[in-house]
Structure 1
Amino acid sequence: MFCFRGRQGGLIKVIWHDGQGACLFTKKLERGRFIWPSAADGTVVITPAQLGYLLVS
């Protein structure tokens, strides 16, 4: 599973493979930004709970 956030922080994309093919989930906020963990090397590992928080907010 891969999660990406847009440059301005208002868009998130999640790509995963369900065993039959790739799936893409996209969520765009009308206002505000997704709170994203900081990454020193450009890669962040998040827990399922953190992913759930991102998708609900």
Structure 2
Amino acid sequence: MFKRGFTGTNGRNYAKSTGMGLYLCNNLCGKLGLSIKASSRKEKGTVIKIFSQIN
């Protein structure tokens, strides 16, 4: 999901998508010492969580 150029079904069917959004978020989180996770359920929505990597 965080790969460069990845677009989901909605992005391919309904809009012009570049697949860069989550890729850039993931790269930024890495540079800031954070981690990002995404989960998606059809017809329910998507949840994006950003975590601090404090030990």
Q: TM-score, normalised by structure 2?
A: 0.29
- In terms of Rg, which structure is larger? 2
